[in-house]
Copies of this chain bind each other. A is one copy, B any other.
Amino acid sequence: MARPAASDQEPSGPQPGSVGLVETQTVELFTAGNPLVLDSGSTLAPVEVAFETYGTLADDRSNAVFICHALTGDAHAAGYHAGADRPGWWDSIVGPGKPIDTDRYFVVCPNLLGGCRGTTGPSSIDPDTGQPYGLRFPLFTVADLVRVHRALLSHLGISRVLAVIGGSLGGMQALQWALDAPNELAAAIPICATTRLSPQNIAFSAVARQAILSDESFHGGDYYATDERPDTGLSLARMMAHITYLSEESMRRKFGRRIQDREEPRFDFGVDFEVESYLQHQGASFLRRFDANSYLYLTRVMDYFDPFADPERAGPRLEAVRAAGTHFLVISFDTDWRFDTEHSREMVRTLGAAEVPVTSREVESPFGHDSFLLAIPDYHRTVGTFLRRLHEGGGVAGPTSGA
């Protein structure tokens, strides 16, 4: 049997410190008459976006915090859906009195373009064919993700947010947003993110995609009309990626070389070590909530992300960030080897060289890349203090000094 995740042991229903019961909303942000124009020049319509909000928007609309989720996240960042006994994926940091304090801030979290949790993606119906897009969904960029976020913000009547925050791919969106529209955010908080994937990062994603693409049930991405799904490939992709989310140390602490459910190893090719059981559970449970085509698109968007590749283009944009006074809080974790601190340092160096105000912090945590999802005290304190000072300092008017 699979080793239950820690959250399996949590009591049922909304807990103290939670935002309570929440619902995911959906809004159509782009229509045939007003399509989303992508970086590639392709257009896309309709584009529906699933999102949640927590807290109350201040009368002067100055207290919004925008959350961008990572590869496999969704709009349900905090609180509980009716009947659910697990909270949203970032409930540890979002809620009353928590670092992203819903007593102070109005928090917005949408599902990403290309996703499969309510926002238009490759599993959505292509109006031209009446069939799911599959691989006919256009390839998009992180800038395109941000375009959709900005349209959502506009729909909510908010012209400028206190901060855009996110881990991993979420942090890449925060950086991109600052470059694309620095006046729209007082601060960007990229957490264990990067300015560009290393070849090793790309390699892991390439093999994960290969597992999906070579699954006989993939049918060129048109599996929706069949009773098959590329479950083998998608679960392999998830298992492999999951290894990169944990540190060697956290795996040692969590599993060691313990044998699953018995005293002695059984010496076969089944599940024998606890870590094998855990990975199989991760692979299998992922199938219930994720679409293989979305996995392809959302890993590929990360591969191509490289906003500072062209110095002639990046220079003026960084100057605009500096002029806007957008403050960066760049956080990394010492045992993260998916996007290690060097990735964050490179971001800090580039921003710092352009005289963009940057606060950076490498947080000690044994939990690797997944640390950004966990309640690490030093990490939470850093985010909470930064946001509070920003808010109290007039926030959206633009702070000039860091934490």
- Which A residues contact B (CB, under 8 angstroms)? 40, 135, 139, 196-200, 202-204, 206-207, 209-211, 213-216, 232, 236, 239-240, 243, 246, 248, 251-252, 254-257, 265, 267-269, 272-276, 279-280, 283, 296, 300, 303-304, 306, 337
Contacts and interface: CB of A to CB of B under 8 A. Distances in A.
A216 B300 CA distance: 26
A382 B179 CA distance: 51
A268 B199 contact: no
B236 A267 contact: no
A203 B296 contact: no
Nearest to A231: B214
Nearest to A197: B257
Contacts of A135: 269
A206 B236 contact: no
30 contacts: A139-B267, A139-B268, A198-B251, A198-B252, A199-B252, A200-B246, A200-B248, A200-B251, A202-B257, A202-B273, A202-B276, A203-B243, A203-B251, A203-B275, A203-B279, A204-B243, A206-B239, A206-B279, A207-B240, A209-B269, A210-B236, A210-B239, A210-B280, A211-B211, A214-B232, A236-B236, A257-B306, A267-B304, A269-B296, A273-B303
How many copies altogether?
A: 2
Contact of A199 (B197, B232, B275): B275
Nearest to A135: B269
Given A199-B254, A199-B256, A200-B246, 13 more contacts: A40-B267, A139-B268, A198-B248, A199-B274, A199-B275, A200-B275, A202-B276, A203-B243, A203-B275, A206-B239, A206-B276, A215-B232, A267-B304
A280 B303 CA distance: 17
A128 to B, nearest CB: 20
A285 B216 CA distance: 21
B275 A207 contact: no
Contacts of A200: 243, 246, 248, 251, 275
A259 to B, nearest CB: 10
Contacts of A232: 214-215
A384 B207 CA distance: 38
Contacts of A240: 207, 240
The 4 lowest CB-CB distance pairs between A and B, nearest first, are A199-B251, A199-B275, A206-B276, A199-B255
A69 B184 CA distance: 59
Contacts of A303: 272-273
A296 B270 CA distance: 11
Nearest to A368: B200
B40 A276 contact: no
A201 to B, nearest CB: 9
